[in-house]
Structure 1
Amino acid sequence: MRMLFRCLFPLVLMLAVPPGAGAAADEPQGSLVIIGGGLRPDNDAVWQRIVQLAGGQGARIAVFASAAADPAPVAAAIVDYLKRYGADAFQVPLAVKLADSDFRQAADDPLLADAVRGAGGVFFSGGDQARITQALVRADGSRSAVLEAVWDVYRKGGVVAGNSAGAAVMSSTMFYAPKTVFATLRGGVRDGEEIAPGLGFIGDDVFVDQHFLVRGRFARMIPAMLTKGYKYGLGIDENTAMVVDSRRRVEIVGSKGALLVDLSHATTDPASAGFNIANAVISYLDNGDIYDLTTHSFTPSKAKAGRRLKPHKDLVADPVFSPDILGRNALVQLMESLINNRRSEAIGIATSGRGTPLPELVFQFTLSKTRDSVAYASVAPPSYSILNLRLDIRPLDLGQATRPE
């Protein structure tokens, strides 16, 4: 049954809910809090921002654990966290996996829809994002009454927050049944298989992904963006949030950061055997930074204001190299090493790894400084914001993948 659903549901949803159609037509006045997963109960900055955007102390927040394998205890835990931070949170009993419940009937229950509509905020838990769209979108692809109520909250100025799977549904396209990161590089993505429509809260021009840098997922987002024609992608790391206001300004809040991927001038070589891209641009946005999706302008955090890095002769000139660019936080570490180096280029390698069913293959990731590359640094604690590094990706034979001289 799940396999049949995976084959048919995304297709009808693509026909009935075109990417970004809801966001463009509904002109939302609210905010989004897009959390990369692994949100800790003691992350005051993120929890407090959600409550504040929902209306402050006593704000009603509707909690959806629709993505969870066991929704009731997950929802109860999130309700408890939100109450600790002063919200009047409540569980929305709507989930495919919720015992003794008909999710189709619940999704169009007018009383449940009214309860959601009366809230100042909505929170989607982590789990499997396919369960969120299955629960909230009708079989014919139209919005259920409860999903329309969520949009009403967003339209009237409330907040829609989502953690992990709840973050994945924020864009008009989401990963649905993804392969591993390397397998995605190797085999690409297909509509209705690896990717399918999300709920589109952020609009149709930005692709969103989560658990981003910890799991090397930047390398799977780029093929998906190319497949669907996205120019911009935002990937948020764990225990961190992107707060998107009604003017489409993105503020990074939490313990880590986010990666901005810009493919507006990127090219591919269709004659090349294997995935490739040239002239992609990537930027690392750190805690407190603001990026405007409308003007594409950047404002560093207060801790980094006036602290733009300048080249100096004391920088090292060692080769900048990562043998596993898909490893935990490896990309950001490579970016930081490059900006603190006199060299203009860094190389990272991705392989399928030993013990995998895929034949061995190597992809080379080349980061380059350009005249548009900029970096800012804070002193305590030390951290970086890194803008506009060029990224090229190409497949290699094993013998060609060598450490730079």
Structure 2
Amino acid sequence: MKVSKLIMLVLVMVVIVGSGTSSLAAKGKDDPAIKGSLVIAGGSLGTSNVEVYEEFIDLAGGDKNAKIGIVPAASGSLKSTEKFKEDLISYGVEQSSIEILELSSHDFSGTDENERKWKSNAQKNKMVNKIKDLSGIWFVGGDQLKITDTLLKKNGKKTKALEAI
């Protein structure tokens, strides 16, 4: 049962860990179990999707205060991750405020590194501390089951990174 709930969670591509005041965040505002907001973006998000980018950035603290982590785990390459980072910069977020989180359970095409080794990062305190310092987390599109493979232990329990998210 817990695994199916997690799969439902990761089908959502974006998690905002900061609190927001927009209408998207208003529902559940008084529910203590809700610790942030979700921005759900279906496939093929492009640079021109102004409303999605602006809402995400606003909920993450605004272009001057947002600290954003990008999780590439679902993708087959880092191209969409790098493109999303470029888009955030074009919308005013400082490059130094955006970090690609080394979380993946598989190797990406087009790189010299074996990103499969990033799976262990999901249990490292260094990653947890990075996540806790973020105000927004973006999951790039792709095979969403790769996210569960990255953020769940073999026994189906949550990794430290998932707990932090």
- Normalised by the size of structure 2, how large is the TM-score? 0.72
Look up the match of 1:100: 114
Secondary structure at the residue paired with 1:111? helix
Is residue 110 from structure 1 mapped to residue 135 from structure 2 by the alignment? no
**Structure whose residues are more often strand by fraction:** 1
Please tell me whether residue 19 in structure 1 is matched to residue 33 in structure 2: no
> Which residue in 2 is equivalent to 1:132?
147
Residue type of the partner of 2:70?
V
**Counterparts in 2 of 1:9-48, with a 5 A limit?**
14=1, 16-17=2-3, 19=5, 27-48=33-54
Secondary structure of the residue that 1:86 maps to in structure 2? coil
Aligned to 2:136: 121
Matches within 5 A, 1:259-278: none
Counterpart selection for 1:56 from 62, 84, 87:
62
Q: Which amino acid aligns with 1:55?
A: G
State whether residues 60 and 67 of structure 2, in contact with CA within 8 Å, keep that contact through their aligned partners in structure 1.
Answer: yes
Match of 1:65 among 47, 72, 92: 72
- Identity, in percent, stands at 28
Matched, 1:145 2:131: no
Give the Cα–Cα distance (whole angstroms) in 2 for the partners of residues 18 and 130 of structure 1: 11
Q: Is the 8 A contact 1:117 1:149 kept in 2?
A: yes
Deviation at 1:128, TM superposition (A): 0.4
Q: Which has the higher contact order (CA 8 A, sep 6+)?
A: 2
C-alpha RMSD over aligned residues = 2.1
SS class of match (2:57): helix
Q: Measure how far apart 1:19 and its partner are.
A: 3.3
What SS is found at the alignment partner of 1:97?
coil
What 5-or-longer segments of structure 1 have no aligned partner?
Answer: 1-13, 151-405
C-alpha offsets along residues 90-125 of structure 1, whole Å, 9 cap, x if unaligned? 101111233423133111121111111110000001
TM-score, length basis structure 1: 0.31
Q: Deviations over 1:343-386 (max 9, x none)?
A: xxxxxxxxxxxxxxxxxxxxxxxxxxxxxxxxxxxxxxxxxxxx
1: distance between equivalents of 2:32 and 2:118?
Answer: 25
Distance in 1 (alpha carbons) for counterparts of 2:76 and 2:83: 14
Cα distance in 2 between the residues matched to 1:60 and 1:97: 26
Task: Answer whether contact 2:75 2:141 (CA < 8 A) is retained.
Answer: yes
Contact 1:68 1:97 in 2 (8 A): no
Letter in structure 1 aligned against 2:104: A
User: How much does 1:143 deviate?
Assistant: 1.0
The 2-side partners of 1:74 and 1:127 are apart by 9
Report 1:363-374 matches (<5 A).
Answer: none
SS at 2:68 equivalent: strand
Amino acid at match of 1:96: S
- Secondary structure, aligned partner of 2:137: strand
Deviation at 1:18, TM superposition (A): 6.1
- Unpaired segments of 5 or more residues in structure 2? 10-30, 108-112
Question: 1:51·1:86 contact (CA, 8 Å) conserved in 2?
Answer: no
CA distance in 2, matches of 1:49, 1:146: 24
Report if the CA contact (8 A) 2:122-2:160 is conserved.
Answer: yes
Deviations 1:293-352 (A, max 9, x none): xxxxxxxxxxxxxxxxxxxxxxxxxxxxxxxxxxxxxxxxxxxxxxxxxxxxxxxxxxxx
Deviations 1:270-311 (A, max 9, x none): xxxxxxxxxxxxxxxxxxxxxxxxxxxxxxxxxxxxxxxxxx
Q: Is the 8 A contact 1:67 1:125 kept in 2?
A: yes
Contact preservation (8 Å) 1:104, 1:138:
no
1:330-345 aligned at under 5 Å gives the runs none
Structure 1 residue 82 corresponds to structure 2 residue 105: no
Q: Secondary structure at the match of 2:35?
A: coil
1:74 CA displacement: 2.3
3-state SS in 2 of match to 1:90: strand
